[in-house]
């Protein structure tokens, strides 16, 4: 699998915790700033963006594996069981085959 995996809107929304507020963090240098977002705001952000990026192993391990904005390094919390199921599904997908240039 490539280093980056873009989640569809449906995939991203499927791992958001069932809570009124979703914890988010912005990572900057050696500090992290955390805040709670209303669930509706997270859903709106993911929907308008057309999805989200799957965070790396560190972000997933910290429970914030949903990257809402890679440029701002904004991550949202995820449901651990649903994230594990999604990661297993992604890992089972066949790698895209490269096609030789017919020229």
Encode pLDDT of 66-99 as tens digits.
999 999 999 999 999 999 999 999 988 877 655 5
Residue 100 lies in a domain: no
80 and 18 in contact (C-beta within 8 Å)?
no
Question: Radius of gyration over alpha carbons of the chain, in Å?
Answer: 15
How many residues are given for the chain? 103
- End-to-end CA distance of the chain, in Å? 27
Prediction pTM value? 0.84
Higher model confidence: residue 55 or residue 4?
Answer: 55
Structure tokens at 20: 């009124």
**What residue numbers bound the domain in which 76 lies?**
6-92
Number of domains in the chain: 1
39 and 21 in contact (C-beta within 8 Å)?
yes
Residue 1 lies in a domain: no
Residue 79 lies in a domain: yes
């Amino acid at each position: 699998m490539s280093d980056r995996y873009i989640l569809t809107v449906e995939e991203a929304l499927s791992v958001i915790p069932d809570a009124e507020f979703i914890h988010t963090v912005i990572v900057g240098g050696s500090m992290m700033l955390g805040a709670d977002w209303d669930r509706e705001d997270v859903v709106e952000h993911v929907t308008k963006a057309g999805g989200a990026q799957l965070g790396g192993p560190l972000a997933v391990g910290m429970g914030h594996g949903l990257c809402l904005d890679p440029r701002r390094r904004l991550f949202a919390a995820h449901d651990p069981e649903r994230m594990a199921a999604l990661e297993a599904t992604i890992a089972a997908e066949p790698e895209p085959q490269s096609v030789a240039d017919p020229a």
